[in-house]
Amino acid sequence: MTQTSYAGLADRVVLITGGASGIGAAFVRAFAAQGARVAFLDIDEAAGEALVAEVAAASRTAPIFVPCDLLDIASLRAAMAKVHKSLGDAAVLVNNAANDQRQVLAEVTPAEFDWMIGVNLKHVFFAAQAVVPQMQARGGGSIINMSSIAWMRGALALPVYAAAKAAIVGFTNSLARLVGPDRIRVNAIAPGMVITERQRRLWYPNEQAIAELRARQAIPDAVTPHDIANMALFLASDESQRITRQCFQVDGGLG
């Protein structure tokens, strides 16, 4: 399949949270391949450094990796300030970091609830808060928040995760209204079943279970990290400059 080229993304500053592995790593690879100046934050230092080496060998510009615990908002702000000092105003923010830990409703403690909200929602708000002034200064930008079809389908084992991912859509709608006059677009992507290495290891070791879920898709082919990255590229590009306050399902039509 031919990769679409978005000339306008070349040399633009793109900031990605949770970019060291899975869908986040696909974002890093995709934006770097477009010639963007990419920075990504992640708590996994080994994976982050390995990705930098991989992408540097394949792209004309190596991404910048900043280790960061996104649960620590002071650390998040410091990491974003470091990226800003190195690269300048961000044109694109991809709020990707998340954790789809399965839980039993009756067993969720207040501490576990707070952790799930922190890892799936809180940093999304504060990363956007930090990047909006940069986008205002450059005359516009694109914020892409990662939601999930989990909240739409009512996933049984994901009560807190689904709540956070639904809240991201609400935040997307509100923020889009607030910063639209500054020509900042805010959209969400809701992936379907994307089998990353982590997903296969923790939740889908059984190929039959994967096949059964794919059989419920309107399009039976696997939804891959590459598919999600392609949507992000479009939403970051000038070709989507009149699109905001939307949530795009990339799920093969999963019912």
- pLDDT digits over 12-36, tens only? 999 999 999 999 999 999 999 999 9
What's the structural domain count of the chain? 1
* The pLDDT of residue 255: 66
Residue 208 pLDDT exceeds 90: no
Q: What is the mean pLDDT of residues 184-190?
A: 98
pLDDT band for position 213 (cuts 50, 70, 90): confident
Whether residue 4 is contained in a domain is answered as no
Whether residue 95 is contained in a domain is answered as yes
Whether residue 1 is contained in a domain is answered as no
**Can you tell me whether residue 235 is helix, strand or coil?**
helix
pTM here is 0.95
Whether residue 71 is contained in a domain is answered as yes
Task: Provide the CATH number for the domain around residue 152.
Answer: 3.40.50.720
Name residue 99's amino acid. N
Whether residue 5 is contained in a domain is answered as no
Q: In terms of residue numbers, what domain contains 19? A: 10-250
- Categorise residue 90: left if φ over 0, alpha if ψ from -120 to 50, beta otherwise: beta
Residue 121 pLDDT exceeds 80: yes
Residue 169 pLDDT exceeds 70: yes
pLDDT band for position 83 (cuts 50, 70, 90): very high
**Can you tell me whether residue 13 is helix, strand or coil?**
strand
User: What share of the chain has pLDDT > 90, as a percent?
Assistant: 84
How many whole angstroms separate alpha carbon 171 and alpha carbon 20? Answer: 25
pLDDT band for position 156 (cuts 50, 70, 90): confident
Residue 1 pLDDT exceeds 70: no
How many whole angstroms separate alpha carbon 189 and alpha carbon 98? Answer: 13
Indicate the average pLDDT of the chain: 94
Whether residue 122 is contained in a domain is answered as yes
Strands ordered across the beta sheet of 141-146? 64-67, 37-42, 13-17, 92-95, 141-146, 184-191, 247-250
Name residue 159's amino acid. P
Name residue 149's beta-bridge partners: none
Whether residue 58 is contained in a domain is answered as yes
Whether residue 2 is contained in a domain is answered as no
pLDDT digits (tens, 9 = 90+) for 192-204: 888 877 777 766 7
* The pLDDT of residue 206: 80
pLDDT digits (tens, 9 = 90+) for 92-116: 999 999 999 999 999 999 999 999 9
Q: Which residues are designated catalytic?
A: 161
* The pLDDT of residue 197: 78
- State the DSSP code for 121: I
> Could you give the dihedral angle defined by the CA atoms of residues 203, 207, 212 and 218, in that order, rounded to the nearest 10 degrees?
90
